[in-house]
Amino acid sequence: MSSPHQQKTSIRLEACGKTFGDGTLALEPMTLDIKGGETIVFLGPSGCGKTTTLRIIAGLESPDAGGRIFFDDQEVTNLPIELRNVGMVFQSYALFPNMSVEQNIAYGLKIRKLPREEINSRVEEMLDMMHIEELRHRTVDQLSGGQRQRVALARAIAVCPKVLLLDEPLTALDALLRERLRIDIDRLLRGLGITTVYVTHDQAEAMSLGDRIVVMDKGRAAQVGTPREIYFHPKETFVADFIGTMNRISGVAADGQFTTTGGSMSWQSDQNGSVDLMFRPENAELTDNQSNAFTGTVATSFFLGDRTRIIIEGIGDEKITIETGNRVELVQGDEISIAIDPESLVSL
Amino acid sequence: MLPVRLPGRRLLLQDSGWYKMKHSYRFYLQLGFTLLVCAFLIVPVIMSVMAGITENYFRGITSGMTLRWVVEVWDLYADTIFLSILISIACLICTIVLGVPAAYVLSKRQGRVARMIEELLTLPIAIPGLAIALALIITFGGFRDFRSSWLFILVGHVLYTLPFMMRSVLAVMSSADFKSLEEGAASLGAGFWRRFFDIVIPNCRSGIVAGALMVVTLSMGEFNITWMLHTPESKTLPVGLADSYASMRLEIGSAYTIVFLLMIIPLLIGLQRYGQPRSIISKPVEENIITNTGKS
């Protein structure tokens, strides 16, 4: 690349909150450090404040009084978006319909008044990188959704931004294409090493792309951590439920044993009395053993090809979902026993 | 027609001579009615046009056809035609220069005042032209030179047509996609003026074209305001038309109508064709996943 992102910009949000004109609190004051070169994903349901946070970083919204934003050591709180040198990909792509693919990619470079040869070579480079050379003369309405996506990325990256901001870039695409572009984007971001803020409501996207994930709920960061931390050690129920499937069993803990309807297992903990434990579907397996296991009846089972998903009743109060790679054929009402990996149990 | 499986029903459909007949009877009734309405609207226009090219209207078409009246209209009223063209073009320029930025500001503002102004934009359609003209005369009548110049009429026309331009442009600008276009340009480093001229103006062209056709057509045919505001030196085509109907031979008035139609009909056709502001974001073309896979 002609102008590599040698300096990796870090971002610091300091007590950035946002209250909209009508008084609704979109974002509680949030303090967050984003390391240079890191890909951070804001994940949450719609209306959780993730896009607002992104727009504050971009400079499209200003934080409430008291909030400050830094790119490295430079405060950018009062800098409008056009002076922040960010690259942004919008959910609707926001490609300019009055320009060709080439002109779209070149636009930011023209604004920067680069010499023509430099613009041309940079545009070539981007077309090549995104595999869209043959689209260069097309207008936006002649492009498919996936192609628009690539052009939008190329346009954002072309200007060598300090920070790359992606607002649900894959949401408008169908599932198959989304999967493929996710791989492309991942490779691209690793290759560029540019600080990236990615907003999505899709947990699979968040898990696969993010170095760290900020799970957001109702305008607040519920948990910040690596995908593994978030998945294995959720700090609150919302996070546990939002990422993947989480089973919940309530029972009683006493003397290194956890007991609930359907059985008991050994569980070392200083907690005594009634507890809520959680575990993931893949952390339980079918067993013939009656001890140290729970027994329930099959409510439903789905054959998914590589694995079978079984919904079980009668263990704890709620239904439990497990997944097994074993070749089992179960019908409703079958009695089965499961053993849960004690390491995987989470208690909040 | 859905395939019908019920035996009884099928019988009914197969045996549908009466049914078919009823259909065509209805069809012709509708066609006849449509044609009747068309004739009701178009025949007077044709009659008027015919009158304009007939030697003597009272003796009918047998007296021969001529373009003499059209030539005479040109001799007598050429200046009104030119003034009408001048005013409509000047009016268009004014509405674009005033209306596009005004629409832009309105589309940006979220407040109640902005919404109120948007509502008020429909007012000039509701207020009689004569009232607008009267208000103008009361306000500016004292400025003698201004009062007697064509610019006075222009002011009236701009007042009357500006809302049409603004509404048309506003329709395009207030879409959410349009806002993200501008944000996209800003993210690439474009300051306000660059964004305005590179992105905003080119992408609301459909709205401007639709508004422009509307403005020119309205200005060209405007009578109420113009009639109140005109002086013997500043007479537009429609005012001249009224004048010729009142004081000339019927054939001249009709020939005048022909001239007017020749000017206005192309505009109306254009209005039909380009008049609907289109959405700026087109639907993506069909995804071709197989080709894409080969590329990545």
List pLDDT tens digits, range B125-165.
788 888 888 888 888 877 877 887 888 889 989 988 999 99
Q: In chain A, which residue's Cα lies nearest the Cα of B197? A: A98
Tell me the chain B residues in contact with residue A112 when contact means C-beta distances shorter than 8 Å.
Answer: 189
Chain B residues with CB within 8 Å of chain A CB: 110, 176-177, 180-181, 183-191, 194, 198-199, 202-203, 205, 280-282, 284-289, 292-293, 295-296
The whole-number average pLDDT for the span A9-25 is 90
A77 DSSP assignment: T
Q: Which CATH superfamily is domain A11-242 in?
A: P-loop containing nucleotide triphosphate hydrolases (3.40.50.300)
CB–CB contact A97 B282 (8 Å): yes
CB contacts, 8 Å: A91 with chain B: 180
pLDDT at A70 over 90: yes
What is each CA distance from A8 to A13, A83, A161, A193, in whole angstroms? 17, 18, 10, 8
* Contact at CB, A177 and B287, closer than 8 angstroms: yes
Cβ contact B285–A97 (<8 Å): no
* A10 CB-side CA count, 13 A: 8
CA B133 to CA B9: how far, in whole Å?
67
pLDDT at B18 over 60: no
pTM recorded for the entire structure: 0.77
B146 and B199 in a single domain? The answer is yes
Write the ipTM.
Answer: 0.82
Which pLDDT belongs to residue A206? 92
| Residue B168 included in any domain | yes
Task: Indicate the residue of B194, B282, B286 with minimum beta-carbon distance to A111.
Answer: B194
Q: B202: how many CB neighbours lie within 10 A of its CB?
A: 14
pLDDT of residue B10: 47
Which of A58, A60, A92 is the closest to B281 by Cβ?
A: A92
Residue-level pLDDT at B279 = 54
Residue B1 has what pLDDT? 41
> How many other β-carbons are positioned within 10 Å of the β-carbon of residue B145?
8
On the question of pLDDT at B289 being above 80, the answer is no
Q: Which residues pair with A41 in a beta bridge?
A: A198, A213
Chain B residue numbers touching A147 (CB-CB < 8 A): 284, 292
pLDDT band with cut points at 50, 70 and 90 for residue B288:
low
Same domain, B115 and B152: yes
Answer yes or no: do A98 and B292 touch at CB < 8 A.
no
pLDDT score for B277: 53
For the record, the structure tokens of B100 come out as 């596009």
Inter-residue contact A234 to A346 (CB < 8 Å): yes
Q: What mean pLDDT do residues B15-43 have?
A: 79
Same domain, B115 and B38: no
Tokens of residue A78, six digits: 């009062």
Cβ of A81 within 8 Å of Cβ of B183? The answer is yes
pLDDT value at B21 more than 70: no
Letter for the amino acid at A280?
Answer: R
A177 band by pLDDT with thresholds 50, 70 and 90: confident
**H or E element that contains A179:** helix A175-192
Contact residues, chain A, for B205 at CB < 8 Å: 98
Kindly state the average pLDDT of the residues B265-275. 78
Contacts of B282 in chain A (CB under 8 A): 97, 140-141
Query: What are A206-218's pLDDT values in tens digits?
Result: 999 999 999 999 9
One domain for residues B207 and B60:
no
Nearest CA in chain B to A161: B188
CB atoms under 10 Å from CB of B60, counted, come to: 11
CA distances from A241 to A26, A49, A235 (A): 22, 18, 11
Does residue B291 form part of some domain?
no
**C-alpha span between A102 and A135 (Å, rounded):** 8
Residue-level pLDDT at B206: 85
Closest CB to B289: pick one of A82, A141, A177.
A177
- CA-nearest of B72, B120, B90, B111 to B244 is B72
Q: Where exactly does CATH 2.40.50.100 map onto chain A?
A: 247-342
How many structural domains are present in chain B? 2
Which residues of A lie inside 8 Å of B (Cβ-Cβ)?
21, 58, 60, 80-83, 85-88, 90-92, 94-98, 107-108, 111-112, 131, 140-148, 155-156, 159, 165, 173-174, 176-177, 180, 184
Could you give the 3-state DSSP secondary structure of residue A26? strand
Q: Which residues on B lie below 8 Å from A176 (Cβ)?
A: 289
**With bands split at pLDDT 50, 70 and 90, how would you rate the model's confidence at A124?**
very high
Tell whether the model's pLDDT for residue A105 goes beyond 70.
yes
Within this chain, do residues B230 and B268 fall inside the same structural domain, yes or no? yes
Please check whether residues B147 and B259 belong to one and the same domain: yes
A239-243: list long-range contacts, CB under 8 Å, 24+ apart. A239/A215, A240/A278, A240/A346, A240/A348, A242/A43, A242/A44, A242/A45, A242/A203, A242/A215, A242/A217, A243/A43, A243/A203, A243/A207, A243/A215
Same domain, B32 and B149: no
Q: Where in chain A is the domain with CATH 3.40.50.300?
A: 11-242
- Do residues B230 and B239 touch, judged by C-beta distance below 8 A? yes
DSSP helix, strand, coil percent of chain A (3-state; round to 5): 30, 35, 40
| pLDDT value of position B287 | 62
CATH number reported for the structural domain that contains residue B128 in this entry: 1.10.3720.10
Measured CA to CA, the distance from residue A182 to residue B139 in angstroms comes to 66
Burial class (CB in 10 A: 0-12, 13-18, 19+), B277: buried
pLDDT tens, position by position, A164-176: 999 998 887 888 8
Of A80, A108, A146, the CB nearest to B188: A108
Residue in chain A closest to B198 (alpha carbons) equals A98
Chain B residues whose CB is inside 8 A of the A94 CB are: 177, 180-181, 183-184
Average of per-residue pLDDT across B191-212: 90
State mean pLDDT over B73-79: 82
What class is the A247-342 domain? mainly beta
Q: How far apart are CA B23 and CA B233, in angstroms?
A: 61
Mean pLDDT rounded to a whole number for chain A: 89
From the candidates B110, B177, B187, which should be mutated to test the interface with A, based on the most A CB atoms within 10 A? Answer: B187
Report if residue B2 sits inside a domain: no
Whether residue B292 lies inside any domain: the answer is no
| Residue numbers of the domain that contains B131 | 77-274
DSSP label at A13? E
* DSSP code for A340: E
A98 chain-B contacts, CB cut-off 8 A: 199, 202-203, 205
- Residue among A95, A156, A184 minimizing CB distance to B296: A184
Flag the least confident range among A18-32, B2-16, B208-222.
B2-16
A177–B284: do the CB atoms touch at under 8 Å? no
Confidence of residue B59 (pLDDT cuts 50, 70, 90): confident
β-sheet bridge partners, residue A196: A39, A164
- The pLDDT of residue B294 is 37
Strand (E) or helix (H) holding B75: helix B68-108
Q: What pLDDT, on the 0 to 100 scale, is given for residue A156?
A: 93
Other beta carbons within 10 Å of B263: 18
Q: HEC states along A140-168? A: HHHCEHHHHHHHHHHHHHHCCCCEEEEEC
Q: Tell me what the mean pLDDT of segment B255-283 comes to.
A: 75
Residue A161 pLDDT level (bands cut at 50, 70, 90): very high
B39 and B149 both lie in a single domain: no
pLDDT at A71: 93
Residue closest to A298 by CA, chosen among A272, A271, A325, A336? A336
The span from the CA of B32 to the CA of B21, in Å, is: 16
pLDDT, mean of residues A160-166 = 93
Domain identity same for B153 and B220: yes
Environment class of A257 (CB within 10 Å of its CB; exposed 0-12, middle 13-18, buried 19+) = middle
- B61 and B83 co-located in one domain: no
Pair (B21, B130) in one structural domain: no
CA distances from A346 to A248, A266, A271 (A): 9, 14, 12
Residues of chain B with C-beta less than 8 angstroms from the C-beta of A85: 189
> pLDDT by residue (tens digit) across A51-62?
999 999 999 999
Say if the Cβ atoms of A81 and B187 lie within 8 Å.
Answer: yes
